[in-house]
Structure 1
């Protein structure tokens, strides 16, 4: 298998870009701190090796040919990618992580992350971000096994500390035509045992799925709130769901809230944890700082 050897160089394409961007050889030479003759030679050599005329002189100015416009656009991708690679290499040399893993307990309202991620993108230096939805013991495992760099959880395992960032709540809901919606509120918990409950799957390797279970005889397990909401909207069963998922349906009357004697909702605190503590990398620390910065007081 033969190895392809490029005929052109990145520097030649960079010079062509400068000639176009600065409106001619003279201004480009000044900007690049090179002689005008060296730029002329570089562009001439580039046209020779690619076998296509890229520039044509009209009056005193050089203009792109049709082929030159196409190749110039593609060359910008090449030079931008080269800069990103070199920047990433410099970041890695300084200990900047190539990837950051963020684990989010599913009850956390994702809309709170939008301003965080908008700012993080500008500061991440090209590092990839992996966002992982976790539930119950799955979230705890991410902390204990240090498989995530930043974790938002409602449960702090022993030996770990977390920064309180917000509160969460869960409402028990069903379709307005469901039999539970017709009962006088609040209802006795024993009434729930005769109906189908939709629960969210624990993402841990050794799941404990009894949290929030109301002893219903029949229980279906789904992997995400979206699937649970779809089932509840269709009239199947009841489920604990957070306001950020169901509030619009409750306001519009598409869903009804169920109140149980002794408990109208489930509530608690959410914490941000850095499982790797002092071993947390600078990019992950940047993300954590932004999460704290943008959390509602």
Structure 2
């Protein structure tokens, strides 16, 4: 049995995750020499190198890869034990780690806020990122649950659809097409278009629909957030395809409207997912059940607000 301390394993896992002694030191609030020293001691204990330097980059050796997988399993089981212990003691403490794509920020904080009223003593880590970044975090098993609209093809996950996520064409209220009904998709040919960054699920869905029908638009701007896109639309820079949920905060008869374009809305769903075989903590299980229960209310509120933007 390897006589390594939990602290050494935590330092190693954090270093491996960041690929940097400096970033590991920042996360753990210790000095960089302390990180290097702990990793050196662990390497001597193992008897094999765990990292190798190539240029300025830090890479895991084969032994390091095996140890990282072992560490992740150990820490996950310890987290789960802490949650179960809290449950047995009648407490509602622990940590909830969520990874969500950017568009979910329009409803996840509301659900999370209501959940935290019942569990006021939990610590929440919420990562709001695009689909590609979320996929990478999921592959590394960095969070308890993930909320996304595109399920990965290369990972085995358990997922449940819990909310509709329709994609619509959004334009400024005075756009020439704003007052028309049943607009042909071909009417968007050559239109100035504002799109999300590469890696966005919304962008991929919109590009596929347009390509399938031979419609080409003029991409004028590529922006990294839905709020920036809405401001660009309001500024007259073009139209875009957005989740209807992004319009929740827009006032009726405001600057934006939803165009009645054929083949829209693109029907999609929000999913809550976790890696298959992952043992969810007590808190993660509680949040999953709470979110599935509250999603219908969220859907009704979202639909009521966004329908006011229809022409």
**What range describes the TM-score normalised by the shorter chain of this pair?**
0.5 to 0.7
- 1:162 matched to 2:159? The reply is yes
What is the TM-score of this pair, normalised by structure 2? 0.54
The one of 123, 126, 148 equivalent to 1:131 is 126
In structure 1, how many angstroms separate the alpha carbons of the residues matched to 2:240 and 2:281? 39
In structure 1, how many angstroms separate the alpha carbons of the residues matched to 2:149 and 2:254? 29
Which digits, 9 at most, give the CA deviation of each residue in 1:96-142, with x for residues without a partner? 49643212233436335424433335426442x12222333333333
| Pair 92,272 (structure 1): closer, same or farther in 2 beyond 3 Å | closer
The runs of 4+ residues in structure 1 deviating greater than 4 Å are: 91-94, 247-250
The number of aligned residues is: 202
Q: How does 1:193-272 map to 2 (within 5 A)?
A: 193-203=189-199, 209-213=203-207, 214=210, 215-246=216-247, 249=250, 251-261=252-262, 263-272=263-272
Q: How does 1:1-297 map to 2 (within 5 A)?
A: 94-96=81-83, 99-108=95-104, 110-111=106-107, 113-120=109-116, 122-123=118-119, 125-127=121-123, 129-158=124-153, 159-181=156-178, 184-203=180-199, 209-213=203-207, 214=210, 215-246=216-247, 249=250, 251-261=252-262, 263-275=263-275, 277-296=277-296
Gaps of 5+ in 1: 1-90
In structure 2, how many angstroms separate the alpha carbons of the residues matched to 1:277 and 1:240? 36
| Pair 285,135 (structure 1): closer, same or farther in 2 beyond 3 Å | same
In structure 1, how many angstroms separate the alpha carbons of the residues matched to 2:248 and 2:121? 37
RMSD: 3.3
Gaps of 5+ in 2: 1-77, 84-92, 211-215, 298-311
Structure index of larger Rg: 1
Deviation at 1:237, TM superposition (A): 0.4
| Pair 134,202 (structure 1): closer, same or farther in 2 beyond 3 Å | farther
